[in-house]
Every structure is written in C-alpha cells, then in structure tokens.
Structure 1
Amino acid sequence: MARSPLPPVPTRLLDVEVADTARRAAPLAVLVPQQSGETDETGATGNTEDTGATEPSPHAGLLTELGVTGKAGEVQTVPGDSGPRWLVGVGGGTGRQYRSAGAAFIRAANAYAAAESEAGARPPRTVQVELPAAAGSEHYAEFALGALLGGYRYELSSADPEPAVRALRLVTGPGHQLPACADSVRRARELAAASAFARDLANTPANVKDPAWLAGMAERAAGDTSGLSVTVRDEEWLAAKGFGGLLAVGGGSASPPRLIELSYRPRGATRHLLLVGKGITFDTGGISIKPADGMHLMRTDMSGGAAVIAAMRAIAALRPGVRVTALVPAAENHVSGSAYRPGDVVRHYGGRTTEVANTDAEGRLVLADALAYGVRHFGPDALVDVATLTGAMKVSLGLRTGGLFASDDDLAERVRAAGERAGEQWWRMPLLEAHAEDVRGEIADVRQAPPGPAGITAALFLREFTGGLPWAHLDIAGPARSDKNYDEVVPGGTGFAARTLVELAESFA
C-alpha cells in the first residue's frame, strides 16, 4: 500500500499525567523562579508576585553555580548523573511564562532524545517535571499547554522523524491538590488539541486541501466527538439557496465550494452562539492575482475556518451548557475562464447585492453569505466571525495580536477576556461610523472594497450582513502564521483563535 504523503491528522500530542512522586528512571526537570533582581523580557524583576513561582528554590546553590537566572524559557542542562537533568526558568510565574517554560523545556527534551538516539543510546520516552511548591493548578495547566504545543511538528519529509518524547509527568510532591491539578491539565489538553488541530488544517498543502477535503476533516472530527454533528452543503445546494458570494469566489476552481455546518446542542441550553470561519483553502487572488512572492503561504488562508472547526471539536468534548453552531464557507479562489471579475455584481444569500472591485478581497464575500444565512436560519443570541481578512491588521497590530471589531461592548469584553484566559491577545479596533457610508454601492447595495482604512471598512462591510445582532469580527491575518518559535508557537499555522473561541463559548454557559 502506498504511504500517505501527509502526517496523521489530528497530530498526536504528548501524553501528560500528574503524579505526586517522581519515577527513578525518567529524566527530571525542576522549574525554578526568576532570581531576585533579574529582569525578564518585559523589564519586570523576579519574585514580585504571588503567582506560583515566589518560593525560594531548594536548588539555590546549584542555580548560583550554573549562573541560572530563572527567566521564563531558560533551560539549563545540569552536569552529572545525580539530581535533576534540567533547570527550567518560569520567570515571575505568570501564565504566559509557564507556557513559555513548558514549550522551551519540551524542545530541549526532544533535542536531548534526538542526540541520545544519534549517539546510539536509548532516547527517553518519558520526562518528568517538578513544579514549585507554590504552583497552583492553573500553573500546571499552563505548563502542560506550553509543552503540548511547543513540541508540535508538521513535517512531510521522506526521512524518518527524529525521536521525540512521548509522555510528560508533572510531579506535585506530597500534600498537593493532585485531583485539581489533574483536572486542570485535562482541560488544558483539550485546548491544546484545538490549537494543534487548527494548525494541522492550516498547514496541509493545498494540493490536498480543497473544500471537499476540509469538509471531510470536519466530518471526521464530528465522528470522533460525541455531541458534535456536521452537515456539508454542496454547490448545487448553494446555488439553489442563493449563496452568490461563495459561488462567485469558488467559480474559478475545478474544486467546487462547500458550506460546512457544525452543531453542538446540549440539552437545556438557553443561549445560542454562532461562529463563522473563513475557509479559503487556497487564495491566488483570482483575476486580481497576488504577487508570486508569498503566495505559497496562502494555503493558510482558511485559518479562521480551521480555528472554528477545531474549537467546535473542543467545545463538544468539554460540554458547556450553551448551544453553539458554526459555519465555514469553503472555497478555492482560483484563476480560470470561469473566475469572477472586478466589476461583477453578486447576489448574496437573502438578496443583498455587492459590487466587486478586487477579487483578492474574497474572504468578506464568502463570510457575507454565511453570516446572512446564519442570522436568518438560526437566530442566534450573538455571532462571531474569524478570518485572515486584511493585511491592514498585520500593519496595525503586528504578527502576535488579533484585531477585534464588535458592535456590542459586552461581546467585545467577553472575547477579550476569553483571549486573556486562553493566552491569545486581542486588541479592540474602532468601527468608525464616518466610514459607514463608504460601504454603500453605486449600482448595488454595498461595495466590497471601499476606500478608507482597509481593516475598518472590511468590518463595516461584514456588519451589513449581521442583522443587527451582537456581533464580533476577529481579523487574524497577523497571528495566524509564524515564521519562528515564540512561547508555545512554532513556525507555520499557529491555530490562533481556536482557544479563544472555546473560552468564549464557555462564558455563555
């Protein structure tokens, strides 16, 4: 049988367990707080907060001997065969610092496993970590999340993968609240799995990942998750229902578009949240074609849809008491004789019409259809869309912060707070009414790419299809991809927004 060119999806993550004692055979790491007087990358000094890292280290002499500062993410190998093999800094003990420490440690442990194998020795399959006595269950969760995602790999090499650690044992010590820590770590694993699954979907090459493939992955996720159902709508159904934006964008490709509908409906739920994710499986820009440089990265232009699918899988697994529906309009924006053109007018679901100015502003066209359908068909209490929508957000906020637009202050605060809990940063952007009139069309109801600040006018365009409901638009064009390691992020698709959506859904329960 021919070997698949793709790694298995979802990616297998570390096994993580919490125990009160260390095993003698497995190599041990000890987490150490930042030493007094040292400053971290933000300029803060160590040992200033009661955040799980403020107890004096029992390894103070060793820290001094090796020059260990305890800064978050610092990993020092300890010479000799007795005692811990690694000392790992957790800074002042914030959640981000614990995630950074977990990611840095697992990378160091994997490098050690590969080196041991290269030297002919048996690489360790399990490593263990002793946390500070002051660490609470939330610190165990953050460290586990960092380790689970910091060790993520997506590789298509013909070579055998390098040996890697398969299990992580977090040691509490006697008298610690082991059940609470174990519960927190189990939940962190679901959140990490959501980010990792979204990364898998975004990283998959576009010669494999067409709209039908993405829909198939959503169906597979639902098949593996109790309480989650999926319905896939094909191009004939879309044409019959009048999804003119999605059909126009997907019309230039030999791979027809799909609408992926996911549903989680717990018994007794009284609130209903609708999520919509942009699912452009490859974006050439269409007739308004993109420059060749960087076009290969457009396989990740469905990162919003990936975050939504992955979040739905985690939501169903965690079972909050809120109904959640998700829509992912999936299409491939290609160039051919059947591609849509600048100057076209498309009619969306529900009848509203849009003047097309730039076929590379395709995301808002497919989202408009899905938003209009979701509002009319489901009548949710609130709706949130997620998309790699505008390069303007990368200029405005850089590559690590998502843009947040909202018509409702309570919903905006829910998203921001959910991101803070999830370890994903959002910055609220203004919906400037001074530009609302720019969205109005000359020969159609609205125009797709009006003048003005691009991120804001794109959000104002989408607002036209939200039916006046509480709505938030999350532009993840910057943080959806990374070209380097930082904290728990690795190069490639980041899975950004998946964890925020899970936390947001739970806030409605």
Structure 2
Amino acid sequence: MKNWLKGLTLSLALSSAALATPDAHAVDQFTDYLKTQHHFAHQHIDGADVLVLPVAEGGLVLPQKWSDAAKQIITDAVALEGFEGKQGQFLELLALPEFYAKRLWLVGTGTELERAAAERIGATLASKLSDKMNTVVVHGKDLNPNQIAAIAHGMDLRSYRFDRYKSEPAARPEYTVHWHGRDEAAAKAAYALTQPVAHGIFVARDITNLPGGDGYPKAIAEMAAEAVANYDIKATVYSPEQVKELGMGALYGVSQGSQHKAHLLVLEYQGGAANEAPIALVGKGNTFDTGGYNLKTSGSSIVRMQTDKAGGAAVIGAVMALAGQQAKVNVAGVVPLSHNLISGTALLPGDVVVTGDGTRVEVVNTDAEGRLILADGIWFARDQLKARAIADIATLTGSKARALGTDYAAIFSEHDALIGAMQAAGELTEEQVWQLPLGPYDGIIDSWLADVQNVGSPGAQAGARFLQHFAKDTPWIHIDMAANAYSTSAKGIHPAGANGYGVRLLSEWVKNYSDAE
C-alpha cells in the first residue's frame, strides 16, 4: 500500500495537547509509560551521545561539513563491513576525529521505506540505546515526515516496560531524540498522530499483562474507564446484576463459579454523524481461564492465561486510538469480561445457558468459554447498539495456532468488503491476517440437547460458525488471534510480554472499511 499512512493524514487534529507539544510528551497518559522525548526543531547539539544517519541502499552521502578525516574513516568502514544501506543493516563507529558526537550509527533504509519497516528501524535504535546514551540526533533530510514519525513511533513502542511487579525495576529508557528533517513541522504533526495509537497499545499491553488475581472483570473495567477518561469516549460498565437482567446468560454463566462475576464494558466514540450507526468492535475479555471443569492440565498452557483478555484489550486500545486521532466515524467497543474458575457453582460440562438473543447453548466444553462471552457481546452490539458492521477479536482456538502459528491471525467472514479492509490493515501494520473458510461445515455445532453446542470440528471453524450465529445478517468478521498476543522475548517493536496485538489492526480496519462504504 503506497499510501502507507492512510488514516493518519495531517488534516486530522488531536483534541488533546499532543499536537501542540508532542516533543515534550505532554500527553499526561504517557508519563506512566515513557521517559523519552522527541524534538522536531533543528538545533546543533554538541557532544551528542549518538548521531544517526539513515542511508538508502546505494545512496551514502556524507555531509560536506564533516571533516575529511572522519569521512575517510566512514568510507573505509562502509567498504570493509559491506554496508550497502540495505534495509535493516546497521554499522556503528566510535570517536571519529573532529566529530561532534561520541558515536555514529549508520542505519540502512533500503530502496523504499514503508511504515512498518520504518517502525522496525525505530525499534532497532531503541534496543541499542544504553542507559549511558541520553542524547540522540537523527539526520533525517532524506526521510519524509511520515517516515520520521514512524521511526519515532517504533522507538516509543519498543521502549515500553511492564515492571510494576518488580521489587527493584531496572531503569526505564530515558533519552531525548532531536530530529533534523526537511519539514520538521509536518514531522511533528505526523508524530502527534501516532501518540494515541501508542497509548492505546500501552494500555492494551498493561491490561493483557496484568495477572489474573489482580486483573479480574471489575478491575479491568475500571482500569479501562480510567484510561479513556481524557478522550472523547463514553464508558459504560454493566454490573453482574445488569448482565443477568439483560439476559446475557452465556456471559454470566462463564463467571458464575468465580467470586469475580461477569461485567460488560462498552466504549462509545462518536466522530461521525449523530444518526450514523456505529461500527462495533467486540473483544474477548476472559480475564483468566482455568478451563473450568475441562481444566487445563498443562502448566505451560495455564500459566499465561491472563493473556486470554488480549482481544478485549485490543478493542479498548483501538477505540482510544480512533478517538485520539478524531477519526470521522462512530465506533463502539464491546468487551465482555469474565473469570473462568472452578467452584461448586461453576458451569458443568453439559449445562445449558441462554444467550441474550434467546439461543440455548449446550456447554459441551467449559474451556470453550470465549465464544460464549463473545456471543453475548456480539448480540449486544447488534441488538442494543444497532451496529452496521461487527468485528470480533479473540484468543479463541488452539486450532488456529496450530494452523497459522504466530505470524498470522485467522479471519472468517462472508463479506468481501470487510475482508478486503482487514487484509489491507494487516499489510499496513504488519499484523497480518489469513482468511480461513467458514463453510460448508454444515451441522458443525448442532446439539441434540439444545439449539447449538459450543464446540465442533474443525475447531477454529466451529468457533467462527458459532459466533456467526449471533451476528445474523449484520456484516461481520471474526479474528482468531490465538498465539499472537504474547512475545516470549523482545523482538521488533515489541518488548517481552504482551504486545498489544490488534490495536493497530482494528483501528486501521475501521478507517479502511468506513472510507470504502
């Protein structure tokens, strides 16, 4: 996609102070996450710790003002190391003669620097900065403003830390980057538009990382409501009693064995016409999943089950991103929140629950709880919010992980416009998606006991067909992001732990789909 910052156009204006003063990270919400700063005003910095020179493939041009001795050393090192400016290449030189920085980093940008690649370059820079490198200057004269913003955004995303459970947390990255570019005002404005996206990702990472004992449904609902307080977002939290009164028996049932009962979080952002039906994002918010009486028996499978709320976290972050960018669309985020534990009151295999639309569901497997809570979330989006299109996202099935691994999420839909918009969003953000078939699979979730059952084979298709039942005739797409939400080690723009997968995918999808309607 050549227009690789589609949706982040400079005509958008932020409602917060971020656009006016992003170089000081003036957005209050960032203070809990980053100690870094980005300045977009050209000024000479003597004694910088690092000078970064982005180099296009085959296009090394050294500034005339640099000393002949320094240029000769650089030219010799480039030849010796085989540095050609290919995307991702990196070369460090120290203590050049008569130089105003302590070290020089050459970074290859390749022949065409797209958004995701620029973000990866930013992540590389952030990963190589030590606590002794506090001042960075980037010569960005050969970069356009969007490329500069994307590199800065990548630095921000990699610099996130989740350290609240460390008794002595390591110092967080604390550096200032001075960007010298062709149009610094435009770069500043473009970077400002990445800030609500980064904030949404950080909140999604926090929510997903939070252990199940602390991150139960009510706590997550309150955490999300606080996170969106400075945005133009209406947050509504439905209590367990209200969930029950609304008839959402599937959502309520998953949590009935826990002391922490089900909640429903609804976030509404109105950037479009007052009478326009919203696009709904529905995210699985199972705050911890033991599997219920179909208990997860492997320690390796149960220990990371706080990440089962990553779909819901992605929805929260995406609505924040859209609101912060003042996207011209009405969006509703629906996050059913549950806590799937075992007790004398928990759901039993073979029990029947009744969903919001009156469907009677045989719970054949209590570990297939995500589709139960999503069923009521989708019903709420369709029936109560009158959504004109619905995308649901969930860490839903092991079958998806076995089929596609961690490089792709699976998508299911019968609506070409939704599929095309999602594929384009995946390519833009490098949160790639791959379409799997919904049919034929007739009878896959039939039940002899009730209207439908909550499992079938093949597993990923059964989950999708189950959810499709509740979307009915509303245009709908399902994203199975199992195995995409967590990074075992730092890589690219992601530190170790929850990576905020889905925030950028969903926010770009909403804009793509809305623009194409």
TM-score, with length taken from structure 2? 0.85
Letter of the aligned partner of 1:327 in structure 2? V
**1:365-385 deviations in Å (ceiling 9; x for gaps):** 000011112111111111110
**Could you tell me whether the CA contact under 8 Å between 2:57 and 2:108 is conserved in 1?**
no
Q: Given the alignment, which residue of 128, 133, 138 partners 2:137? A: 128
Partners of 1:190 and 1:302 in 2: how far apart?
21
Residue correspondence of structure 1 range 90-489 to structure 2 within 5 A: 90-92=109-111, 93-109=113-129, 112-113=130-131, 123-131=132-140, 133-155=141-163, 156-162=165-171, 164-172=173-181, 176-225=182-231, 227-266=232-271, 268=273, 270=276, 272-290=278-296, 291-432=298-439, 434-450=440-456, 452-489=457-494
Residue 67 (structure 1) shift: 4.7
**Could you tell me whether the CA contact under 8 Å between 1:361 and 1:449 is conserved in 2?**
yes
Letter of the aligned partner of 2:120 in structure 1? S
Letter of the aligned partner of 2:126 in structure 1? I
Residue 298 (structure 1) shift: 0.4
Q: Check if 1:20 corresponds to 2:42.
A: yes
Q: Check if 1:56 corresponds to 2:60.
A: yes
Residue 22 (structure 1) shift: 4.3
Partners of 2:384 and 2:169 in 1: how far apart?
49
Other structure's SS at 2:342 match: coil
Letter of the aligned partner of 1:78 in structure 2? L
Partners of 2:54 and 2:175 in 1: how far apart?
23
Residue 400 (structure 1) shift: 2.4
Q: Percent identity?
A: 30
**Could you tell me whether the CA contact under 8 Å between 2:400 and 2:482 is conserved in 1?**
yes
Letter of the aligned partner of 1:79 in structure 2? L
Residue 33 (structure 1) shift: 3.5
**1:212-270 deviations in Å (ceiling 9; x for gaps):** 11001111022222x10111001111111111111111011111110001111236253
Partners of 1:66 and 1:190 in 2: how far apart?
39
**1:265-292 deviations in Å (ceiling 9; x for gaps):** 2362535201100001110101000022
1:184–1:435 Cα change, 3 Å = same
Residue 13 (structure 1) shift: 6.1
**Could you tell me whether the CA contact under 8 Å between 1:436 and 1:457 is conserved in 2?**
no
Partners of 2:133 and 2:361 in 1: how far apart?
59
Partners of 1:9 and 1:404 in 2: how far apart?
36
Residue 130 (structure 1) shift: 2.0
**Could you tell me whether the CA contact under 8 Å between 2:116 and 2:428 is conserved in 1?**
no
Partners of 1:194 and 1:163 in 2: how far apart?
19
Partners of 1:312 and 1:13 in 2: how far apart?
25
Which one is further off, 279-288 or 14-23?
Answer: 14-23
Which one is further off, 73-82 or 257-266?
Answer: 73-82
Other structure's SS at 1:256 match: coil
Letter of the aligned partner of 2:469 in structure 1? E
Partners of 2:152 and 2:117 in 1: how far apart?
12
**Could you tell me whether the CA contact under 8 Å between 2:280 and 2:332 is conserved in 1?**
yes
Letter of the aligned partner of 2:215 in structure 1? K
Q: Check if 1:80 corresponds to 2:95.
A: yes
Partners of 2:452 and 2:55 in 1: how far apart?
56
Partners of 1:27 and 1:9 in 2: how far apart?
24
Partners of 1:30 and 1:140 in 2: how far apart?
12
Q: Check if 1:499 corresponds to 2:499.
A: no
Letter of the aligned partner of 1:364 in structure 2? R
**Could you tell me whether the CA contact under 8 Å between 2:49 and 2:134 is conserved in 1?**
no
Partners of 2:81 and 2:336 in 1: how far apart?
55
Residue 341 (structure 1) shift: 1.0
Other structure's SS at 1:414 match: helix
Partners of 1:9 and 1:307 in 2: how far apart?
21
Partners of 1:79 and 1:321 in 2: how far apart?
48
Other structure's SS at 1:488 match: coil
Residue 425 (structure 1) shift: 1.2
Other structure's SS at 2:433 match: strand
Other structure's SS at 1:436 match: coil
Letter of the aligned partner of 1:26 in structure 2? A
**1:113-157 deviations in Å (ceiling 9; x for gaps):** 2xxxxxxxxx343323223x3322221122122111122211222
Residue 77 (structure 1) shift: 2.8
Letter of the aligned partner of 1:76 in structure 2? L
**1:402-443 deviations in Å (ceiling 9; x for gaps):** 1111221001111111222233211122111x2132122222
Residue 357 (structure 1) shift: 1.0
Unaligned stretches of 5+ residues in structure 1: 1-7, 37-54, 114-122
Partners of 1:428 and 1:145 in 2: how far apart?
29
**1:32-68 deviations in Å (ceiling 9; x for gaps):** 44655xxxxxxxxxxxxxxxxxx33425444224554
Other structure's SS at 2:291 match: coil
Report what 1:45 is aligned to: none
Letter of the aligned partner of 1:392 in structure 2? S
Partners of 1:187 and 1:25 in 2: how far apart?
31
1:9–1:337 Cα change, 3 Å = farther
Partners of 1:461 and 1:445 in 2: how far apart?
11
1:457–1:65 Cα change, 3 Å = same
TM-score, with length taken from structure 1? 0.87
Letter of the aligned partner of 1:284 in structure 2? T
Partners of 1:126 and 1:502 in 2: how far apart?
33
Partners of 1:22 and 1:163 in 2: how far apart?
26
Partners of 1:177 and 1:354 in 2: how far apart?
59
Partners of 2:167 and 2:481 in 1: how far apart?
32
Root mean square deviation, CA, Å: 2.2
Other structure's SS at 2:94 match: coil
